[in-house]
Structure 1
Amino acid sequence: MADARPPKRVRTKEPEAEPPVQRSSRYWLEDGNVILQVQSTQFRLHKSFLAIHSSVFRDMFSLPLPAEEPLIEGCPLVVLHGDTSEDWAHLLDAMFPNECFVDNPPLLDAVGGILRLSKKYDVPAFRKRCLERLREEFPTTLEEFDKDIASISHPGGMEFSEMCAHSVNLAREVGVFSMLPSALYYLIRQEPGVFGEHISILDSVQDKLAAYKAYAEMSRDYCQTPLQWLKPSGCIPSPSCSTRDECERRRNGLFIDLIPDPTIVASIVDFWNEEDKWEEGLCEPCVTEAKELYEKMRKECWEKLPSYFGLPSWEELKKMDLE
C-alpha cells in the first residue's frame, strides 16, 4: 500500500510591513528638544511648549531620563501608543495657528482629534474651545436651537445628517452627552431612506435603536407635538373665527396633506412652516390660535426631547459632560 501523502503545509498570511517612520513635514522643529512618535510619524517639538499646555507632559518631562535612553539627534524619543498622527496634526495646528486671531469654523475631524488628545493629555484650553463649538452646533436650549448657526464644517460630500451621525459617535467617545439629543434629532429629520443609511454609521447599537424608536414615536402621535393644532377638536376654528366653514376645510386639507408625511410630523421642535404657506385660507384669529398652540407644544417637546431617545433630562446630561 502506498504511503499516505504528507499533509499540505498551511500557508500563513505574512504580516503586512509597517510603514517606514517619517518626519512630519510641518512639525519638525530644528531647535526642538523632544521627539514624539505617533504611529509612523515623528514630531520634533519643544518640551517647554508641550508642558505649558499639558499637565501630563509637564509631569513626564519633570522625570529624569534613564541613562540608556536612546536619543535621536540629541533628543529623547517618546512613543505615544493609541494615538493617531492625524489627531496630533489637528492638535498641533491648533497650537501653532498660521494667523493671528483665527476664528474659522473647524472641521469635525479636527474637533474630534483635539478633544481626544486634550482629554488624554489634559490640555484644557483647547478642550474648552472645542466643547464650546460642539455646544453651539448641538444646543441644549430651544433659544440656542433657534439661532441660525452652523459653526462646525464637514468635508465636502458629507451630508449634514451624516455629519450628525459621526458627531453622536464623538459625543459618546469623549463624553459630551448633552449634545446627543440635538445630534440625534438632526439625524432623524430626514427622509426614511436617508436617515436609515446614516443611522448605520452609529457605533452604538443602543443609539441606533433609540433613533428608530424616537422617529416612530414622534411620527405616530401628533396629538402630543406642535401639530396638535390640526386636531379636529383642536383650536381651529377659533372662538373669534368669522369664516368657520372655510377655516375648518383648510385645516382638514392640511391634516390630510401633513399627517401622513413622517418627515413633517417627526420635526417636533422645528419652526412654524412659513414656506409651505400653512396660513393660507385661514382667518387671522385662527392663525393666531394655531401659532400659539404650536409654540406651546414646541417648547414642551424640546424639554421632552432627550426622553424620546431614552436619555436623561437636559440638566442630568449637562452634569455628565466632560469639562
Structure 2
Amino acid sequence: MIPYSVWADIDIANLAREQNLLSLLPVALYALCQCEINATELIPSSRRDDGTTTTLSPSNISACFAAWTTTLPKLQSETTLTWLDPASESWDLTCKKHWCNDIRKKATRRIFVPCVQFVGLCTWGEFRDDYMDPEDNMCHRYVSVAEQAHKDGRIKFWEGLPGAFGLPGWDELGKEREELS
C-alpha cells in the first residue's frame, strides 16, 4: 500500500492520465486542489522522503490551475455553499437575524479569504467543525435550511466535478469503467 502524501496524489493523477483512466481524474485532481501546499509547489519536481522525485504532468497542471482559479470556486459557490449567499433562495426563505447573517459572513471569509478553500465535498459536520466558530449559533430554522442546502449542494457539486477539470460528465466517464469490465 502507498502511504498517503501530497506526492502520492500527484502520482495517482499522473498514472490515471497516463493509463487513460479518466474516471479517476476528477477525484485525483480535486485532492491536489485541496492540498495544503502552495500552487507553485506543484510545478517543479518535488523530492520525496525516499529520495525519488515526482512532477505533476503538464496536462494535470493546466487542469488544476484552471479549476483552482475559476471553475471550482464558482462550482462550490453555486452548489454546496449556496446557503452562504444572502441573495440565495435558502437565505431569503429563512431568518434575517443579524447573528445568522454575521455567522454566514464569517464562514464565507474563512473559505474565500485570503485564498479559496475547496470544501465542495465536505459533509455538513466537517464544514461546521472546520469553518464555523463553535461559539456561534445560528437560529434552528436557518441551521436546518443551511444543512439541507449544503447536503443537496454536495450532490450537485459531485455531478459538476469532472467538468471543473475540463472532463466529460460522470455518465461518459462511467462508460470507461464498463469497457474495462
Which TM-score tier does this pair reach, normalised by the shorter chain?
Answer: 0.7 to 0.9
Indicate how the Cα distance of structure 1 residues 271 and 238 shifts in structure 2: closer, same or farther if over 3 A, else same.
Answer: same
Encode CA deviations 1:249-276: one digit per residue, 9 max, x unaligned: 2222333333225342x23222221323
Query: 1:168 pairs with 13, 38, 41, which one?
Result: 13
3-state DSSP of counterpart to 1:262: coil
Query: How large is the RMSD of aligned CA atoms in angstroms?
Result: 2.5
Kindly state the Cα deviation for residue 295 of structure 1 after the two structures are TM-superposed.
1.4
Q: Which structure has greater strand proportion?
A: 1
Kindly state the Cα deviation for residue 220 of structure 1 after the two structures are TM-superposed.
5.1
Q: Which structure has greater helix proportion?
A: 2
Encode CA deviations 1:149-191: one digit per residue, 9 max, x unaligned: xxxx32xxx62x2111101111123332211110111111023
Q: Tell me which residue corresponds to 1:318.
A: 174
Query: 1:291 pairs with 147, 150, 154, which one?
Result: 147
Kindly state the Cα deviation for residue 199 of structure 1 after the two structures are TM-superposed.
5.1
Kindly state the Cα deviation for residue 206 of structure 1 after the two structures are TM-superposed.
2.0
Q: Tell me which residue corresponds to 2:78.
A: 224
- The whole-number CA distance in structure 2 between the counterparts of 1:182 and 1:222 is 15
Q: Tell me which residue corresponds to 1:198.
A: 42
Q: Tell me which residue corresponds to 1:181.
A: 26
Kindly state the Cα deviation for residue 192 of structure 1 after the two structures are TM-superposed.
5.1
2:80–2:153 Cα contact (<8 Å) kept: yes
Encode CA deviations 1:80-119: one digit per residue, 9 max, x unaligned: xxxxxxxxxxxxxxxxxxxxxxxxxxx3xxxxxxxxxxxx
Q: Of the two, which has the highest radius of gyration?
A: 1
- Structure 1: runs of 5+ lacking an equivalent: 1-106, 108-152
Which amino acid letter does the alignment assign opposite residue 33 of structure 2? I
- The whole-number CA distance in structure 1 between the counterparts of 2:61 and 2:105 is 35
2:76–2:157 Cα contact (<8 Å) kept: no
- The whole-number CA distance in structure 2 between the counterparts of 1:275 and 1:190 is 18
Indicate how the Cα distance of structure 1 residues 298 and 199 shifts in structure 2: closer, same or farther if over 3 A, else same.
Answer: farther
- Structure 2: runs of 5+ lacking an equivalent: 45-54
- The whole-number CA distance in structure 1 between the counterparts of 2:131 and 2:61 is 34
Which amino acid letter does the alignment assign opposite residue 284 of structure 1? H
Structure 1 moving runs of 4+ over 3 Å: 220-223, 236-239
Kindly state the Cα deviation for residue 291 of structure 1 after the two structures are TM-superposed.
0.9
**Matched residue pairs, number?**
163
- The whole-number CA distance in structure 2 between the counterparts of 1:196 and 1:207 is 13
Tell whether 2:101 aligns with 1:245. Answer: no
- The whole-number CA distance in structure 2 between the counterparts of 1:263 and 1:202 is 21
Query: 2:121 pairs with 236, 256, 269, which one?
Result: 269
Encode CA deviations 1:48-73: one digit per residue, 9 max, x unaligned: xxxxxxxxxxxxxxxxxxxxxxxxxx
- The whole-number CA distance in structure 2 between the counterparts of 1:230 and 1:314 is 27
